[in-house]
Amino acid sequence: MFKVLIVDDDKVVRYMLKRYKKWANYGFSVEEEASDGKEALRKLSVGQIDLVITDIKMPGMDGIEFLSELRFRKWDVCSILLSTHSDFEYAKQGIRLGAFDFITKPLEDDVLSEALERAKKYLDEKNQQRIRGEEERRLIEDSLTHFYPKKREERIADLILAGNLAALAEAETAFSELAKLLDQDLFKTAKLLEIMLLNLSGAMYKEFSWLQKVEEAAFRNVLLHINSMCGMKSEFLSRIRGLIRVIRKYELHRSESIVRKTCQYITDHIDRDINLELVANEIYVSKDYLGKIFKQKTGVNFNDYLTKIKMEYAKHLLGTGEFKNYEISEKLGYSSPDYFCRLFKNYTGYTPLQFRKLGA
């Protein structure tokens, strides 16, 4: 059974929809109801819903705002709009925002039946696609396990962490070997290369956990464009080169590097009130020299880097939902929660409260 959420501020409309007798005939079951978009979002966040039937005009968060929020959060829920003839322009806007269908008030059983039949067909097809996709992924994983070059991946990882451009030659060899073993199959070759990029990024993140916070682009996307072997090879090597560039940027291949020591100190003492002079004393260099060499090597000044690390950690703490603002402020070494909130707003564009709601 597909689960249904009905959203309407009018109790009578909700009652009329719930008492419709043919829900089960089309494979649906009414599980939840809500009086506006905000309540609907809360219920969607805690339970699996397949179909939402929502009014357009409601107090609080209306149907259009609700659909906009679904789209913003990237929640894949089939939705049907309820509208009057005078709401037709809003209905068109809803369709542009991703609504599957719309039906007009007053509700008629045959119109609702037709809409549910269309929705069931759509949801059935979507489920079949998901099942086929999962089966395809399992088959690919099973068939590719035999070909995966784990030893070569380990050599590439060691060379990347050493900041050695020889990693590019190893990566090129890995590409050529895989392409040959897989009979030049673009899709299968790409899948294995993407796995390798994930593992290589993971090796860097395991060694330097703070890197992902400041070099997100290097870790975020490992998907390759499957257009041609030549183009895919170029893109793969470019990603490897990017990982080496990050290692060299922070001089992570040099154990005595001032930049490496600075970054590591900040991460290890993120709960303290850190400043440039304090870190300079800890690593036995002058404050002016540290500020100069850090900006020269990383492209950002010390204070901006420090704020970035602390604010990224704050985003993580806020996302857990376990801490109040003053507790996060203390964990970041700030004596004033108001000061922390101002920094966070300047960095993200949102107050901590707004950021919590976005992730709710």
Q: Is 258-358 CATH 2.10.240.10? A: no
- Do the bridges between strand 78-83 and strand 51-55 make them parallel or antiparallel, or are there none, so unpaired? parallel
User: What's phi and psi for 51, nearest 5 deg?
Assistant: -135, 130
3-state secondary structure of 285: coil
The CATH code that applies to domain 2-137 is 3.40.50.2300
Domain range summary for the chain, segments of one domain joined by +:
2-137, 147-249, 258-358
Q: How far apart are CA 80 and CA 26, in angstroms?
A: 15
Q: How far apart are CA 346 and CA 292, in angstroms?
A: 25
Produce one character per residue of 137-147: b if its CB has 16 or more CB atoms within 10 Å, e if not. eeeeeeebeee
- Do the domains at 2-137 and 258-358 have one common CATH topology? no
Q: How far apart are CA 316 and CA 319, in angstroms?
A: 5
**Digitized pLDDT (tens) for each residue of the chain, 360 residues in all:** 899 999 999 888 888 898 888 999 999 999 999 999 999 999 898 888 999 999 988 888 888 888 888 888 888 889 998 887 666 677 677 777 788 888 888 888 888 999 999 999 999 988 888 887 777 667 566 656 667 788 899 999 999 999 999 999 999 999 998 888 888 888 888 888 988 898 898 888 888 877 776 777 667 667 788 889 999 999 999 999 999 998 988 888 888 889 888 988 888 888 888 899 999 999 899 999 999 998 988 888 999 989 988 998 888 888 778 888 999 999 898 889 999 999 999 988 888 888 887 754
Q: What is the pTM of this model?
A: 0.51
